Amino acid sequence: MTRLFGTDGVRGLANKTLTASLALKLGAAAAEVLTREVHSSKRRPVAIVGRDPRVSGEMLAAALAAGMASRGVDVLRVGVLPTPAVAYLTDDYGADIGVMISASHNPMPDNGIKFFSAGGHKLPDDIEDEIENAMSELDEEGPTGHGIGRIIEEAPDARERYLHHLAHAVRTDLSGIKVVVDTANGAAFDVAPAAYRAAGAEVIAIHHKPNAYNINDECGSTHIDQIQAAVLEHGADLGLAHDGDADRCLAVDHEGHIVDGDQIMAILAVAMQEKNNLRENTLVATVMSNLGLKLAMDNAGISMVNTKVGDRYVLAELNARNLSLGGEQSGHIIQPAYSTTGDGLLTGLSLMARMAQTHSSLQELAQVMQVLPQVLINVPVSDKNAILDDPSVRAAISAAEEELGETGRVLLRASGTEELFRVMVEAASEDKARAVAGRLAAVVAAV
């Protein structure tokens, strides 16, 4: 049976695979699992519910809130706010459950439901499995009378709490920095420009007028060309592009060159190292991070730990080792001292703070890392789990690694969602990377 929860909550086509009735049951089941200890202490449990602006979020938020209230949970709806804001507010309000309704960078017809436990932490797999199992075991009847939870439709100070948190986390005056921010017509449409202005930056906002249907529509971090053009048009010092729920941030410098998550991590790691804030002098990244990041960290005397692809695995490693910085090439950057999940606004503020503190342009800061050409080929296969066991594939990998030596890298892995095998090669030149990747892809396709 297919697991309901994926790598980042429950996601699907709204009103088809992700329906209001499913959300109702999911809310009730989550309440049962995540508030057992609270109920036993005879305290009324509390849940925080936020969403991005897509049209189906209103429907799903109502259903989820009803499901949790039917199990005796008081629900505080905080409206349209970023995912990291909901995680923070779950802790700040002392809530027992946090729920964010968003499909992140996915197109508008999709939606998703992400849960946080007390303290604003993402759920481990075993708890998600408990919730999924509880859905089929729910009693039709719940508490009655005073036992039914209340639904508070709008938290009046949620936005201000989050803005205050960001201002406290990054206290550098950003006066003199001109930034363009693309909010993807998403959850940060209002709060991102407000946070950057509050820090002193001159802000030009684009794609900041959501209408329930235009989230991620040719804008945001998945359409970086929009922010590139805007930075050049306005003569800005940099541009920051968020995705629909603003847990990620990509940047462009004053000439429109992309500064991706790997480069941002390199900049922040060196900054934290200088201030003795980089715990164990170690950065956590995934196996998909560019080899140039490792070379840059080696040059700076910073160790790297690699995890599987997915910010949840980065976060797990950060928590397990009590480390202070990690992230993904896609722009999910996690700073556990200030956030329990990736926070695109915190990333943007931290990046501009480094510019202000060093009196350097983003382009100058990004030179700490040389991005090696990276080629990724997705190869359709009949059995993705058998590829790495094939002798011809193993021989081709060994030959490629010997050919590239210390100047390149090979990574082959199965797709987590499709019958594809991903062939990734990095090399000193793009021609070399394409040639090696093409040969490897041909061997994989022949298996």
Please indicate, yes or no, whether residues 266 and 408 belong to a single structural domain of this protein.
no
Burial of 255 (0-12, 13-18, 19+ CB in 10 A): exposed
**Is a pLDDT exceeding 90 seen at residue 102?**
yes
Tell me the catalytic residues: 104
Please indicate, yes or no, whether residues 249 and 168 belong to a single structural domain of this protein.
yes
Over residues 189-212, the pLDDT tens digits come to 999 999 999 999 999 999 999 999
Q: Is 429 annotated for ligand binding?
A: no
Q: What does the pLDDT read at residue 335?
A: 98
Mean per-residue pLDDT of the chain: 95
Please indicate, yes or no, whether residues 151 and 39 belong to a single structural domain of this protein.
yes
Distance CA 86, CA 39 (A): 23
The pLDDT > 90 percentage for the chain reads: 88
Q: What does the pLDDT read at residue 377?
A: 95
What size, in residues, is the chain?
A: 447
Distance CA 28, CA 240 (A): 38
Q: What does the pLDDT read at residue 354?
A: 98
| Helical ranges in 176-260 per DSSP H | 191-198, 225-234
The token pair that represents 97 in the structure block: 């459950």
Report if residue 2 sits inside a domain. Answer: no
Over residues 322-368, the pLDDT tens digits come to 999 999 999 999 999 999 999 999 999 999 999 999 999 999 999 99
Please indicate, yes or no, whether residues 284 and 406 belong to a single structural domain of this protein.
no
User: Band of the pLDDT at 382, cuts 50, 70, 90?
Assistant: confident
Q: Which residues, 6+ apart, have CB-to-CB distance to 197 below 8 Å?
A: 203
The last residue of a domain, from among 366, 395, 415: 366
Please indicate, yes or no, whether residues 111 and 240 belong to a single structural domain of this protein.
no
Look up residue 112 and give its DSSP letter.
E
Q: What does the pLDDT read at residue 2?
A: 74
**CATH code of the domain containing 14:** 3.40.120.10
Q: What does the pLDDT read at residue 417?
A: 64
Distance CA 15, CA 59 (A): 9
Q: What does the pLDDT read at residue 311?
A: 87
Report if residue 187 sits inside a domain. Answer: yes
Q: What does the pLDDT read at residue 139?
A: 87
Please indicate, yes or no, whether residues 165 and 302 belong to a single structural domain of this protein.
yes
**Is a pLDDT exceeding 70 seen at residue 39?**
no
Please indicate, yes or no, whether residues 402 and 288 belong to a single structural domain of this protein.
no
Q: Mapping DSSP to helix (H, G, I), strand (E, B) and coil, where does residue 208 land?
A: coil
Please indicate, yes or no, whether residues 123 and 145 belong to a single structural domain of this protein.
yes
**CATH code of the domain containing 400:** 3.30.310.50
Q: Is the pTM of this model over 0.95?
A: no
Q: Are 50 and 95 in contact (CB under 8 A)?
A: no
The token pair that represents 309 in the structure block: 């692809």
**Is a pLDDT exceeding 90 seen at residue 250?**
yes
Please indicate, yes or no, whether residues 330 and 438 belong to a single structural domain of this protein.
no
Site of tokens 């396709």: 445
What sign for the dihedral angle of Cα 353, 359, 364, 365? negative
Look up residue 9 and give its DSSP letter.
B
Please indicate, yes or no, whether residues 85 and 165 belong to a single structural domain of this protein.
no
**Is a pLDDT exceeding 70 seen at residue 133?**
yes
- Average pLDDT score over residue span 370-386: 91
Total number of domains constituting the chain: 3
The token pair that represents 240 in the structure block: 């920051």
**Is a pLDDT exceeding 60 seen at residue 1?**
no
Site of tokens 């060159």: 257
Q: What does the pLDDT read at residue 379?
A: 94
Q: Is 104 annotated for ligand binding?
A: yes
Which value, to the nearest 10 degrees, does the dihedral of the CA atoms of residues 19, 25, 29, 32 take? 140
Please indicate, yes or no, whether residues 181 and 326 belong to a single structural domain of this protein.
yes
Q: What range defines the domain where residue 436 resides?
A: 374-446
Q: Is 243 annotated for ligand binding?
A: yes
